[in-house]
Structure 1
Amino acid sequence: MYIPFDELPPHARLWIYQASRPLTEAEQTEIKPLLQRFATEWSSHGKGLQASASLLHDRFLVLANNEAETSASGCSIDASVRFVRELEEQLGISFFDRSQLAFLNKGEVETVAMGELKNKVATGDINENTLYFDTLVNNYGELQQAWPKPAGSSWLSRYF
């Protein structure tokens, strides 16, 4: 069962996929109905999930499920991964490259390769107050309250 993204309860579980490049308006227009259809049809052991999906900041695909209603099973999570992989093929984009970190810089999403992070910290381009899009956020409440969040408040704190 589809639920509008902004009506998700704070405890709703999230899966965040970061695109390897910004999505164009045309791509977003193409993807949005596919996201809604997937969320509508997404199920666990034959029972529909109370699910939603959204594109945020032209870069992040977010799938969500209200776990208080029905928990996502391993099979349903596998189905969501297959869906995202199909989008990758359709768009010629990657949603599974974890080697790029995303930061908010002057209102724009900027990506930094993991291998460049220490250098960016050393030069001051990234500091503990730089806003970071932590794809490890796992519930809607946290997304609403602290996303992006200061890098020093994330797993990146060890670099400062």
Structure 2
Amino acid sequence: MFVDFNTLSEEAKVWVYPSNRKFYPQEIDDLNEKLKDFVDAWKSNDENFKASFELKYNRFIVFAAEEDVQLTNADIDAQVAFVLQLQQEYEVELLDKMNVCFKQGEFIQYKDVKEFKTLLKKKSVSAKTLVFDNLVQTKGELENYWEVPITESWYSRFLK
């Protein structure tokens, strides 16, 4: 069942899907509707299931589900299949885990790891640059550790 994202507990499980580009303003309403429909139908046979989504910065799709309900491989497969469908429909990349999302001023950049390392070497980004740790596991981690300086993320290993 779809619930307001803010009503989910800090322990709610999250999945972050970064897009290689911002969704265009004309895509947002339709995308939000599709996301809500998916979450509403996801595990609809389980009346205790509470889930939600957020579209952050018009670029990151975040799904969340309360931790007290067991998710099966089939449930996760359904989510991934839906994300694959979104990729095709909006012509974006959402499942590439070999990328780095970071802020440059007010803009969010999406680069592959190799390009990001080059930017570090050229000092185009610094240890203070804010990166998005899309591997966060819970809503609490999303709120507190998703958007952090490189030094506080797993990307800090690239600083050496």
TM over 0.5: yes
- 2:132 corresponding residue in structure 1: 133
- 1:25 corresponding residue in structure 2: 25
Residues 16 and 134 in structure 2, CA contact (< 8 A), matched pair in contact too: yes
Residues 136 and 145 in structure 2, CA contact (< 8 A), matched pair in contact too: no
- 2:157 corresponding residue in structure 1: 158
Between 1:119-128 and 1:131-140, the stretch displaced more is 119-128
CA distance in 2, matches of 1:151, 1:89: 31
Matched residue SS, 1:47 = coil
Residues 36 and 52 in structure 1, CA contact (< 8 A), matched pair in contact too: yes
CA distance in 1, matches of 2:25, 2:71: 30
CA distance in 2, matches of 1:147, 1:98: 15
- 1:99 corresponding residue in structure 2: 98
- 1:112 corresponding residue in structure 2: 111
Between 1:50-59 and 1:143-152, the stretch displaced more is 143-152
* Cα RMSD (Å): 1.5
Give the Å deviation of 1:148: 0.9
* Cα distance per residue 1:79-107 (max 9 Å; x no partner): 00111111112112121122321101112
Identity of aligned residues (%): 29
CA distance in 1, matches of 2:73, 2:146: 27
- 1:86 corresponding residue in structure 2: 85
State whether structure 2 residue 118 is matched by structure 1 residue 124. Answer: no
Matched residue SS, 1:88 = helix
CA distance in 2, matches of 1:143, 1:74: 23
Unmatched 5+ residue regions in structure 1? none
* Cα distance per residue 1:94-149 (max 9 Å; x no partner): 21122321101112111222112222112222222210011101111111123311
State whether structure 2 residue 55 is matched by structure 1 residue 51. Answer: no
Q: Which runs of 4+ in 1 moved over 3 A?
A: none
Between 1:110-119 and 1:76-85, the stretch displaced more is 110-119
TM-score, scaled relative to structure 1 = 0.92
CA distance in 2, matches of 1:71, 1:64: 13
State whether structure 2 residue 41 is matched by structure 1 residue 35. Answer: no
TM-score, scaled relative to structure 2 = 0.92
* Cα distance per residue 1:9-42 (max 9 Å; x no partner): 1110011111121101111111101111111111
CA distance in 1, matches of 2:136, 2:153: 10
Residues 65 and 72 in structure 1, CA contact (< 8 A), matched pair in contact too: no
Unmatched 5+ residue regions in structure 2? none
